[in-house]
């Protein structure tokens, strides 16, 4: 049996199903390119049939990815599979991932189909998917709660129809490692190398990583996972945890390996956090802020004497260099370009010029510019969508509970200015923007964080706003001034809304 564990990343599909994680095409493209650098084998770029925006994102990624297999999810229905096939058509390497539920509860209550109808539908779906591309994956949704004999029957049928990968998800995160290990070893034996056996575990009981590792030891050779473990409800198995466990515990996993470039783990984690606004919990394994922080005196003393006393993984091995002081206002374009390359950004000359100007503006205001500042600045620049509204000035004052904000905004080549009072400055700012645009928004979430350290740290604001007649959209703003970052975030959400309607 092959020793390579195929890493199937679904950050852009299941990860995007995390509440509040929806991303625009430019953001998805940026993530896709970073996943390619990370060395992921298969990237689930989205669910092409879900919306025109999803179709476009899968299609753009299919056009631009060069060295990675791009995949689209599709229910076992013709229209979904057709959308997936068409969106993926420009990809050099592609895969259609089709699925149908196989557990009694899903078949009876959700699908209202008999087991034999489910098998028939699954076989038709795989056959139809094969007319678009050779590489077809089939998932038994809720396999974790499915009958093993039924799983064998349906897998046999879809393998006969041409499925090359059989994915057995624990969709609701219900199973324990011993149970999944037992199920996977039975299925591996039954499938007997006719297809790759894949697993996809959710984290509802906090077991997604442990379950995935147990499945690998039981013979699964593909693991589906997301960066930072983001995903539906409690999330998916975290890519970084699985990869680092396999790498660190050679004594257990022996010859098993992945092709992930560990040094790209931390930069990828930061990119996902900054684009989605979902920060990993501080104590999150591998990529949390505290994952390499030693607080107690006894631990610090031990680490100083011999690192391995309390460290099983080095921060450097996942690409977490010390938050190094980088460039200052006297740094030149060449040094800036070198820095971007070392951070994994590959910009064309126009984007490089704009990013350099932004860096100079920042270096003028901020004494010390850190790697995280540059990452945030450049990500913001390259994922920018067309600016229907653009903020050109902000004046604010506050006293007691009352605050006022005066804002100038460029829209259709015209500058429009207005002011408003509010309960606090952010409230006043959002009110003026609503007034200028004539579109009122309800603020559903508002988060402020510091990009790096220091009193003059860049502020990052993430908002979730529901505008009239549209669903919720996210907006992100970056500025030295927290209120300006808030205004930019709100305008960013407005611009996303304008693109959607
Ligand atoms: O959790 C799940 O079952 C899924 C499938 C669509 C693969 O995400
Ligand atoms: Zn899932």
pLDDT digits (tens, 9 = 90+) for 468-501: 877 788 899 999 999 999 999 999 999 989 987 7
Q: What is the distance in A from the centroid of ligand 1 to the CA of 303?
A: 42
Report how far Cα 208 is from the mean position of its chain's Cα atoms: 17
Atom of ligand 1 nearest to the CA of 143: 3
Sheet holding 414-423, edge to edge: 389-399, 402-411, 414-423
Instruction: Collapse the DSSP code of 76 into the 3-class scheme (helix H, G, I; strand E, B; otherwise coil) and give the result.
Output: coil
Q: What's the sign of the alpha-carbon dihedral 206, 209, 211, 212?
A: positive
200 is in an annotated binding site: yes
How many alpha carbons lie under 13 Å from residue 210 in its C-beta half-sphere?
12
pLDDT at 275: 84
User: What is the 3-state secondary structure of 446-470?
Assistant: EEEEECCCCCCCCEEEEEEEEECCC
Which of 289, 393, 381 has its CA nearest to residue 373?
A: 381
Pairing of strands 69-75, 196-201: unpaired
In contact, 232 and 15? CB cutoff 8 Å: no
Residue 319, beta-bridge partner list? none
C-beta of 165 in contact with ligand 1 (< 6 A): no
pLDDT at 322: 62
Q: pLDDT class for 2, splitting at 50, 70, 90?
A: very high
Identify the burial level of 367 via C-beta atoms within 10 angstroms of its C-beta, where 0-12 means exposed, 13-18 middle and 19 or more buried: exposed
In contact, 283 and 254? CB cutoff 8 Å: no
Which residue's CA is minimally distant from atom 5 of ligand 1? 141
Instruction: Collapse the DSSP code of 195 into the 3-class scheme (helix H, G, I; strand E, B; otherwise coil) and give the result.
Output: coil
Q: Residue 191 and residue 204: Cα distance in Å, rounded? A: 28
Which residue's CA is minimally distant from atom 2 of ligand 1? 171
C-beta of 181 in contact with ligand 1 (< 6 A): no
C-beta of 430 in contact with ligand 1 (< 6 A): no
Instruction: Collapse the DSSP code of 31 into the 3-class scheme (helix H, G, I; strand E, B; otherwise coil) and give the result.
Output: helix
- 39-85, pLDDT tens digit by residue? 999 999 999 999 999 999 999 999 999 999 999 999 999 999 999 99
Q: What is the distance in A from the centroid of ligand 1 to the CA of 169?
A: 6
User: What is the 3-state secondary structure of 137-175?
Assistant: EEEEECHHHCCHHHHHHHHHHHHHHCCCEEEEEECCCCC
Identify the burial level of 312 via C-beta atoms within 10 angstroms of its C-beta, where 0-12 means exposed, 13-18 middle and 19 or more buried: exposed
**CA 308, 292, 284: angle at the middle one, nearest 5?**
125
Q: pLDDT class for 394, splitting at 50, 70, 90?
A: very high
Q: What is the distance in A from the centroid of ligand 1 to the CA of 284?
A: 23
The overall average pLDDT reported for the chain is: 93
Please give the DSSP secondary-structure letter assigned to residue 88.
Answer: H
Name the closest ligand to CA 101: 1
Instruction: Collapse the DSSP code of 273 into the 3-class scheme (helix H, G, I; strand E, B; otherwise coil) and give the result.
Output: helix
Which pair of structure tokens corresponds to residue 29?
């493209």
Sequence ranges of the domains in the chain: 6-276, 293-319, 324-383, 389-500
Q: pLDDT class for 381, splitting at 50, 70, 90?
A: confident
C-beta of 279 in contact with ligand 1 (< 6 A): no
Least confident among 249-263, 348-362, 427-441: 348-362
pLDDT tops 80 at residue 125: yes
The phi, psi pair for 344, rounded to 5°, reads: 90, 10
C-beta of 173 in contact with ligand 1 (< 6 A): no
Name the closest ligand to CA 169: 1
C-beta of 18 in contact with ligand 1 (< 6 A): no
C-beta of 98 in contact with ligand 1 (< 6 A): no
202 is in an annotated binding site: yes
* CATH number corresponding to 389-500: 3.30.160.270
pLDDT at 325: 55
C-beta of 25 in contact with ligand 1 (< 6 A): no
Helices 333-342 and 371-382 meet at what angle, rounded to 10? 90
C-beta of 139 in contact with ligand 1 (< 6 A): yes
Helix locations, 290-424, DSSP H: 297-305, 333-342, 349-365, 371-382
Report how far Cα 267 is from the mean position of its chain's Cα atoms: 12
Q: What's the sign of the alpha-carbon dihedral 13, 17, 23, 24?
A: positive
* Average pLDDT of span 328-347: 82
pLDDT at 366: 81
Q: Which residues contact 200 (CB under 8 A, 6 or more apart)?
A: 10, 14, 139, 167, 168, 169, 170, 171, 223, 224, 236, 237
The phi, psi pair for 471, rounded to 5°, reads: -75, -175
39 vs 166, 167, 225, 230, 239, CA distance in Å?
A: 22, 21, 14, 19, 12
Q: Residue 362 and residue 385: Cα distance in Å, rounded? A: 21
Pocket test for ligand 1, best of 17, 50, 171, 212 (most atoms within 8 A of CB): 171
Instruction: Collapse the DSSP code of 223 into the 3-class scheme (helix H, G, I; strand E, B; otherwise coil) and give the result.
Output: strand
Name the closest ligand to CA 168: 1
Atom of ligand 1 nearest to the CA of 10: 8
Instruction: Collapse the DSSP code of 377 into the 3-class scheme (helix H, G, I; strand E, B; otherwise coil) and give the result.
Output: helix
The C-alpha torsion from 95 through 273 and 371 to 329, rounded to 10°, is: 110
Please identify, in words, the CATH class of the domain defined by 6-276.
Answer: alpha beta
* Average pLDDT of span 88-104: 98
Q: Residue 212 and residue 241: Cα distance in Å, rounded? A: 10
Q: pLDDT class for 310, splitting at 50, 70, 90?
A: confident
User: Percent of the chain, pLDDT > 70?
Assistant: 99
Q: Residue 459 and residue 407: Cα distance in Å, rounded? A: 19
Identify the burial level of 222 via C-beta atoms within 10 angstroms of its C-beta, where 0-12 means exposed, 13-18 middle and 19 or more buried: buried
Which residue's CA is minimally distant from atom 8 of ligand 1? 14
Q: What is the distance in A from the centroid of ligand 1 to the CA of 369?
A: 41
C-beta of 434 in contact with ligand 1 (< 6 A): no
pLDDT tops 90 at residue 214: yes
pLDDT at 326: 66
C-beta of 200 in contact with ligand 1 (< 6 A): yes
- 220-229, pLDDT tens digit by residue? 999 999 999 9
pLDDT tops 60 at residue 323: no
Atom of ligand 1 nearest to the CA of 99: 6
Neighbours of 352 (CB within 10 A): 18
């Amino acid at each position: 049996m092959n020793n390579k564990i195929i890493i199937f990343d679904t950050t852009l599909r299941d990860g995007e199903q995390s509440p509040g994680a929806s991303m625009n095409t430019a953001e998805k493209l940026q993530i896709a390119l970073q996943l390619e650098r990370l060395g992921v084998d298969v990237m689930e770029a989205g669910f092409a049939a879900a919306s025109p925006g999803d179709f476009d994102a899968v299609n753009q990624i299919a056009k631009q990815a060069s060295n990675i297999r791009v995949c689209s999810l599709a229910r076992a229905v013709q229209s979904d599979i057709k959308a997936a096939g068409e969106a993926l058509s420009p990809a050099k390497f592609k895969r259609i991932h089709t699925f149908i539920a196989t557990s009694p509860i899903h078949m009876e209550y959700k699908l209202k189909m008999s087991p034999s109808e489910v098998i028939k539908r699954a076989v038709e779906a795989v056959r139809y998917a094969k007319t678009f591309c050779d590489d077809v994956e089939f998932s038994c949704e809720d396999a974790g709660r499915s009958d093993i004999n039924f799983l064998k029957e349906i897998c046999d049928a879809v393998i006969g129809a041409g499925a090359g990968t059989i994915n057995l998800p624990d969709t609701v995160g219900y199973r324990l490692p011993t149970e999944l290990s037992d199920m996977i070893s039975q299925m591996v034996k039954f499938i007997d190398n006719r297809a790759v056996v894949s697993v996809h575990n959710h984290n509802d009981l906090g077991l997604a990583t442990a379950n995935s590792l147990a499945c690998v030891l039981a013979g699964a050779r593909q693991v589906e996972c997301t960066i930072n473990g983001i995903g539906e409800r409690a999330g998916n198995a975290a890519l970084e945890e699985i990869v680092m466990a396999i790498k660190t515990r050679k004594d257990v996993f022996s010859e098993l390996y992945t092709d992930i470039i560990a040094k790209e783990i931390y930069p990828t984690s930061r990119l996902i956090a900054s684009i989605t606004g979902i920060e990993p919990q501080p104590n999150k394994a591998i990529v949390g802020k505290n994952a390499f922080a030693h607080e107690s005196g006894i631990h610090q003393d031990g680490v100083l004497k011999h690192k391995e006393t309390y460290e099983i993984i080095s921060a450097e091995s996942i690409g977490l260099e010390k938050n190094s002081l980088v460039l200052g206002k006297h740094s030149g374009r060449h040094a800036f370009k070198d820095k971007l390359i070392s951070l994994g950004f590959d910009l064309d000359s126009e984007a490089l010029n704009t990013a350099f100007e932004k860096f100079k503006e920042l270096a003028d205001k901020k004494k010390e510019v850190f790697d995280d500042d540059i990452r945030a600045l450049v990500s913001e620049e390259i994922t920018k969508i067309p600016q229907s509204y653009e903020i050109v000035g902000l004046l604010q004052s506050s006293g007691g509970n009352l605050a006022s904000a005066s804002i100038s905004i460029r829209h259709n080549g015209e500058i429009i200015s207005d002011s408003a009072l509010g309960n606090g400055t952010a409230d006043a700012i959002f009110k003026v923007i609503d007034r200028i645009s004539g579109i009122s928004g309800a603020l559903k979430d508002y988060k402020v964080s510091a990009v790096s350290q220091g009193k003059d740290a860049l502020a990052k604001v993430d908002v979730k706003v529901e505008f009239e007649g549209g669903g919720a959209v996210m907006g992100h703003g970056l500025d030295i001034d927290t209120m300006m970052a808030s205004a930019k975030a709100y305008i960013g959400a407005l611009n996303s809304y304008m693109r959607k309607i």
